[in-house]
Amino acid sequence: MIRIPVSASRDYRVLIERGLLDHAGEEIRAVTKAEAAALVAGKNVFPLYGERVRRSLEAAGLQVIPYVIEAGEGAKSLENYGSLLRFLSENRLSRSDVLVALGGGVTGDLTGFAAATYQRGIDFVQIPTTLLAMVDSSVGGKTAVNLETGKNQVGAFYQPAVVLCDPDVLKTLPEEEYRCGSAEVLKYGVLGNAAFFEELCRRPIREQEEHVIETCVCMKRDIVHEDEYDRGQRQLLNLGHSFGHAVEACSGFSILHGQAVAIGMALIARAAAAKGYCDQETVERLTAALRDYGLPTETDFSLKELAAAMALDKKRTGSTMHLVVPEAIGRCRILAVPVSEIPDWLRAGGAV
């Protein structure tokens, strides 16, 4: 088993092993004194893995209370958050019990935020079932729900008690969702690990899942250790996200998060080259890798639409926005850009 210690406001470990779902109960027992576990899973994931996790939790002596949520970004709503809290209260979950998030980033973000706020904080465990959630969202403690005005507008930094990654579950992940995770994996190579980027170009992620998850988690762990509350270096993880969130919002969330991040990375790389921060070869290597992984690199949304969506982005601080700008594969810088110059960056990235 791969064990990665994370040191943040709460210390915990990320465990990676095929078949780990069947030992989830033991691993959760090792980190909490809970008597009951609310097992939160999406309606696609519960039928696939819910009973296995439930059996494992029960075998470890936990009373299991399942809670099934809708699939997709719509689940991260204030309404669903309120319903989950009411469910926990009606089922008498106490502060010493535990929430278990079994699913992708949507389930993890919603469950994590409920855990952060229910009775002022209850332990929670992440069992990520998408590639994106394994390499990114399950680690680092960002939890949130959306408002009509934007994604992740209400949330908390709240670290899990343990993260359990079982790469076997990726076998059932739809191809399109797997590609979305690949975008986030490539992101790690571009933002800080050129050798890893090369490995991803030489050998498909599918053939090296444990190594890929371990490498990404270790990179994220190091960034979170330095800047848990996202005031500096952690913003590097937003590579492709400023423009990506705008693409996602313009599409009414029909473009998936990872696809939007891929478009966002290509856009910011083109803009960076046009403005002299990186060379054209960096753009070409990045866009070729994205395409090889079946990801989009262009958007049809207009400059005006994208700029309007970006004005609502929570990464804006007053009249400034921090863009993560590639300087080379494996090196990015965080640039404070006046909001008034964002349309110019979008134009430089190819938006019209």
Residues engaged in binding ligand NAD (CB under 6 A): 42, 44-45, 48, 71-73, 76, 103-107, 109, 129-130, 132-133, 136-137, 140, 142, 151-152, 169, 172-173, 177, 180, 257-258
Phi, psi for residue 63 in degrees, rounded to 5 = -80, 130
- What's the rounded Cα separation, in Å, for the pair 55 and 177? 27
Closest to ligand GLY by CB, 142 vs 179, is 142
The SS3 assignment for 291 reads: helix
- What's the rounded Cα separation, in Å, for the pair 290 and 112? 30
* Residue range at the interface with ligand GLY (CB under 6 A); choices 85-93, 111-119, 136-144, 259-267: 136-144
Q: b or e along 286-319 (b: 16 or more beta carbons within 10 Å of the residue's beta carbon)?
A: bbebbeebebbbebebebebbbebbeebebeeee
User: Which position among 97, 123, 136, 305 is part of the footprint of ligand GLY (CB under 6 A)?
Assistant: 136
Question: What is the footprint of ligand GLY within residues 270-299 (CB under 6 A)?
Answer: none
Which residue's structure tokens are 């590579």?
Answer: 239
257 binds, among ligand GLY, ligand NAD, none (CB under 5 to 8 A by kind): ligand NAD
Does 265 bind ligand GLY (CB under 6 A)? Our answer is no
- What's the rounded Cα separation, in Å, for the pair 111 and 126? 9
| Torsion angle defined by CA atoms of residues 282, 283, 284 and 288, in that order, rounded to the nearest 10 degrees | 110
User: Which position among 237, 239, 255, 351 is part of the footprint of ligand GLY (CB under 6 A)?
Assistant: 237
Minimum Å gap between C-beta 227 and ligand GLY is 9
Site size with ligand GLY, rule: CB under 6 A = 6
Closest to ligand NAD by CB, 122 vs 278, is 122
User: Which position among 142, 221, 270, 285 is part of the footprint of ligand GLY (CB under 6 A)?
Assistant: 142
| Spatial CA neighbour of 117 closest among 140, 88, 148 | 88
Query: Distance of alpha carbon 294 from its chain centroid, rounded?
Result: 19
302 binds, among ligand NAD, ligand GLY, none (CB under 5 to 8 A by kind): none
Does 151 bind ligand GLY (CB under 6 A)? Our answer is no
The site for ligand GLY (CB under 6 A) is made up of 136, 140, 142, 230, 234, 237
